[in-house]
Amino acid sequence: MQVPAPFEYERATSVDQAIGLLERLGSSARLVAGGHSLLPMMKLRLANFEYLIDINDLHAELGYIRLSDDEVRIGAMTRHRELLESDVLAGVFPIFRDAEKVIADPIVRNRGTLGGSLCQADPSEDLSAVCTTLDASCVIRGPGGSERVVTMEEFHVGPYETAVADNEILTEVRIPRKTFRVGSAYAKVERRAGDWAVVSAGAAVWLDQGRIVDARVGLAAVGPNTTGIPEISAALRGHEPDESLFELAGAIAARSCEPVTDTRGSADYKRHLADELTRRTLRKAVERARS
Amino acid sequence: MQVTMTVNGTEYTREIEGRMLLVHFLRDVLALTGTHWGCDTSNCGVCVVWMDGEPVKSCTVLAAMAGGHEVRTVEGLANGAELDPIQEGFRQCHGLQCGFCTPGMLMTCRALLDKNPDPTEGEIREAISGQICRCTGYSSIIRSVRWAAVHEAAAVATEEAVQA
């Protein structure tokens, strides 16, 4: 029987009360949202805490998808199922629905949250790749109502490590919107349905008069954290999208990533996937931007 | 710590350890052993129960998290001696052999039919994609769900005809 080591259970009633608890308990405490990454890690003793602070009651405060002209704001407690089912979100950034369809399974998606996924900081995690692709920023709240906003690059400090301090909580993810036509897509190769990615890629393309004003690619499972590749953006900007451009981007992705050989595949195979999935998602993103 | 939750319509208050998982609370504390306990890693889906009407994997939910919530298990499906149509479907169409995955399958498929009374084969396969059955190859499970869908639709039609 796998059960976490003993801990004290606390239940948060508001964001600020949760921060108060974190201030008091320090590094011996951890927030738990859906728990579908944290509890398995605690069962395996890969993580151990004296206190768990259950923030599921904060869904009313932190479960939302809000669209404005210049950004999309998503609350950290928004569950995978809500991200999958949101037509508003799929209308602006279909990459979310692409990714959610291949994250775990429908039952797990009933519990898992956006904030939990990002805070897990697993290098193979799909929503981290989506947020990297979309140049999202993360809102972190601390004691006394203080708030700071960090980029995805700053948010993920290393594998399983984030910029969120012991007395802070990730409250919101903000995704900028631009006034150009936009298309986005996500693709993942996995060994079986609902598994972690062997490799996955997200792409977003912004078009003006048929030319690329900006393009971003985010890769998962090929480095210490999900990676955005600035060289691809630079190579694509100003051009009219075509197949040769996608091939160039794929080649850059393959040589820019740092995959390691493991049970999911060899480093060479993962480079091949990074190339192929970059091409596929860019192709799809452009197709969506044009339609 | 003390936890109070409603399971199949009955409220229970028990003293538990914070680390106790919902699946063990149901099986070992309440002796509701219909919910099975399998892989422990939220992969196999034999432990699926409902929390506030939504299927969850009870090996990855703390019993404490279910405090104040409504849980429904496979024991809560039948109405006395009368089986739920999804149970009857599994019986009619051989939706099980060994039966180990069945409680979880039933809870997920009941939730599917409540949301989508006429699911396609693809929708059924997607709904149970987080659950493993090593006996049936899934085909007879899909037939069982379709059986329940068709018979529930027929029952509704009959009821409407009687009322008219």
Domain boundaries, chain B: 2-76, 85-163
Whether A1 maps to a domain, the answer reads no
CB B126 within 8 A of CB B112: no
Contacts of B16 (CB under 8 A, 6+ apart): B1, B2, B3, B25, B29, B63, B64
Distance from CA of B18 to the nearest CA of A (A): 5
**How does pLDDT run across A227-286, given as a tens digit for each residue?**
789 999 999 999 999 999 999 999 999 999 999 999 999 999 999 999 999 999 999 999
Q: Which amino acid is at A21?
A: L
Out of B17, B48, B65, whose CB is closest to A56? B65
Record: fold of B2-76? Ubiquitin-like (UB roll) (3.10.20)
Domain B85-163: give its CATH code: 1.10.150.120
Q: Is the pLDDT of residue A221 over 80?
A: yes
Which of A176, A202, A226 is at the close of a domain?
A: A176
Out of B41, B126, B127, whose CB is closest to A40? B41
Show the domain range for A38: 8-54
Overall domain count for chain A? 3
Which of A160, A176, A192 is at the close of a domain?
A: A176
Q: Pick the closest to residue B104 from B66, B72, B147 (CA basis).
A: B72
Which of A142, A176, A210 is at the close of a domain?
A: A176
Distance from CA of B41 to the nearest CA of A (A): 6
Q: Is A66 in the same domain as A36? A: no
d(CA A20, CA B148) in angstroms, rounded, equals 50
Residue A225 confidence (pLDDT): 81
Q: Is A189 in the same domain as A123? A: no
Q: Is A149 in the same domain as A91? A: yes
Neighboring chain A residues of B67 at a CB cutoff of 8 Å = 11
**How does pLDDT run across A83-129, given as a tens digit for each residue?**
999 999 999 999 999 999 999 999 999 999 999 999 999 999 999 99
**How does pLDDT run across B86-145, given as a tens digit for each residue?**
999 999 999 999 999 999 999 999 999 999 999 999 999 999 999 999 999 999 999 999
Q: Is A28 in the same domain as A91? A: no
CB B83 within 8 A of CB B27: no
List the alpha helices (DSSP H) in B102-138. Answer: 102-115, 121-127
Q: Is A186 in the same domain as A160? A: no
Q: Is A67 in the same domain as A172? A: yes
**How does pLDDT run across A20-40, given as a tens digit for each residue?**
999 999 999 999 999 999 999
Distance from CA of A222 to the nearest CA of B (A): 24
Residue A38: closest C-alpha in chain B: B60
Query: Which two three-digit tokens encode residue B10?
Result: 């009955």
Contacts of B105 (CB under 8 A, 6+ apart): B45, B48, B90, B95, B96, B128, B131, B133, B141
* CB pair distance less than 8 Å for A107 and B65: no
* ipTM of predicted complex: 0.94
Out of A4, A40, A107, whose CB is closest to B108? A107
CATH number of domain containing A48 = 3.30.43.10
Q: Is A44 in the same domain as A132? A: no
Q: Is A185 in the same domain as A169? A: no
Q: Is A43 in the same domain as A67? A: no
Residue B160 confidence (pLDDT): 87
Q: Pick the closest to residue B30 from B60, B61, B4, B68 (CA basis).
A: B4
Would you tell me how many other CB atoms lie within 10 Å of the CB of residue A179?
10
d(CA A243, CA B126) in angstroms, rounded, equals 33
Residue A116 confidence (pLDDT): 97
Whether A111 maps to a domain, the answer reads yes
Q: Is A100 in the same domain as A167? A: yes
d(CA A215, CA B118) in angstroms, rounded, equals 41
Crossing angle between the packed helical segments B85-92 and B102-115, to the nearest 10 degrees: 120
CATH number of domain containing A279 = 3.30.390.50
* CB pair distance less than 8 Å for A2 and B56: no
Cα distance between the two ends of chain B: 54
Residue B164 confidence (pLDDT): 77
Substitution target from B48, B58, B62, B108 for chain A, most A beta carbons within 10 A: B62
Whether A2 maps to a domain, the answer reads no
Share of chain B above pLDDT 70, in %: 100
Whether A30 maps to a domain, the answer reads yes
Whether A104 maps to a domain, the answer reads yes
